[in-house]
Structure formats: structure tokens, C-alpha cells
Structure 1
Amino acid sequence: MPVLKVNGQSHNLAVPDDAPLLYVLRNDLKLNGPKFGCGLSQCGACTVLIDGQPVRSCVTSAGAVVGQDIVTLEGLGTPEKPHRLQRAFIDEQAAQCGYCANGMIMRAKALLDTVPKPSEGEVRLALDGNLCRCGVHQRIISAVMRASREA
């Protein structure tokens, strides 16, 4: 029975250690930022931050992250006060269907935490493993660049 620290709060959960973290976050904690995309760690829709590093929660077990800080999209900001990346995605209209937005924002957060003023090339490289089916890639890049300027 793992105790997970998610978005600054500890949760004592009656789930098996090998339960996929994504399922625990969505089903047990009702955090719907991370999405189920492929289930194979290929699309990035399920990305969360574990101790500040982007991790695919669909292939990470709950037991593997006990004692680590887990941050989901919900942990970045609120509707009243969104994180600068969330605000930039809104301002740049960087989500068409919105399915990839979680993974894009979480990877961008990890990038901006380590490289506060990245080049466009660095942003593209950081987001390279995340897929967007709608084709708003340029708006996503623009949103990350905007957020980096607003730091």
C-alpha cells in the first residue's frame, strides 16, 4: 500500500505497488491532467514530474515513486492563477483538442526549470518525444517561448 506525495500532499492508497501511476492518479486521486494516450510510453500525454524530471506515468509503477515528489498539471496552477506555462498555452491558443497539452506543458516545465531562457531549438528538442495529432506544434513552441520571456 504505497504512500504517494502528489502536488505537495501525501496520499495513503490501497493500490498494488505495481499499479501504473497513471491509473492511480486518474482513478484514485481524480487528477485528470495526465492522459492515457498510448500506454506504451510513446506519446507523452501521461507525463508528470517526478522529483522535477518528466516521466511517463503510463509505464511507471506507483511503488517505484514512493517517497518522491510527484507533480501533475493540476499542481502547477489554479484556474484563478494559472502557471505561466498554462497561461501562455491559453494566450497562444496552443491546444486544439488539448490531449497533448498535459505532456507538452509538463516537459516544458522541466525544461524551463533547468534552462530558463531556452532557444527555440532547445524547446523543440525537449518536446520532441511528445506527439500532437492536431498540428499545433508551432503554437506550442510559441507558448513555451512566451512563458520563458515571462519568467
Structure 2
Amino acid sequence: MSIASEVPMWEYEHSIEVADVTPAQVWARYSDTATWPEWDKGIVSVTLDGPFVAGTTGTMRPEGQDPLPFTLTEAVPDQGFTDETVIPDAVTLRFVHRLAALSGGGTRITHRLEIEGPAAAGMGPELGPQITEDFPDAMQALAKVAGQVG
């Protein structure tokens, strides 16, 4: 018998399938953080302190908010990436982005938000829906601009 520690968590995931975009085309947009505001209207700017690889830190400025630091915790070309923003002594916001090639061509794009930590039970239900409400629109816009990549 094992004892698992219960970490409060809130999560949300949304996927779309696009027929005319490859994982490489979407990856080109993911890895060019300066272009994120083109497809995610909730973001004013994103800067990285190095290459788009695991361990690199950066700053994201959401619309109407102060800049937030984040760290890329995973980055696998043409497959996806994960970034985390830590709010000390409260929660970790983990954004998971996955790409999967479809058998008939095209790509399944999945964006997931996980909110965990000691304050997740209280903050998650309030903060989570505010953050994720634009996931569907942002993902459609991402697919559109990714299709413009050669």
C-alpha cells in the first residue's frame, strides 16, 4: 500500500484538429515567442532569456497585468512544450502544449492548464476559467497563422 500526498489541483484541457497544418508549422510559431501576441490576444509580449529549450526562463506580459516570469520545463520540437509560472507559497501555473500528427494529415493541437499548490483549491476555480476562456480562440488563431508558415 502506498500513501500518495494530495496536492490540490485545478485543470482544463482543450484540443482542436486542423487538416492543413503540420506539427512543424505549429512548432515554428511556438518557438518564436515574439509572435505569440499574433495568435494569443491575451498576451502583450513574451521575451526569452535564451533559446526555446527546457530550462530557459522568460517573461510574459498578459493584457492588463504586470509581467510574469516563467520557465520552459520541456521543449520537444514538433511535439510540444511546457512552461511554468510559480506564484510563491500559492500555486504553480503549468501550461502544457502538445502536437500530434493525424494519420490522414494535419495536426491535433492540445493546450492544457494545470494549477497546483497549497492555494489551488481556492485560486484554481476562480483563476483557471479566466486564464483558459480564450484557449479555443487562441488555438484557432494559432492554427491560422501556423498555416501561413512555409
Please state which structure has a larger fraction of its residues in helix: 1
The TM-score normalised by the length of structure 2 is 0.28
Greater RCO, CA 8 A, separation 6+: 2
What TM-score comes out, normalization by structure 1 length? 0.28
Larger CA Rg, structure 1 vs 2:
2
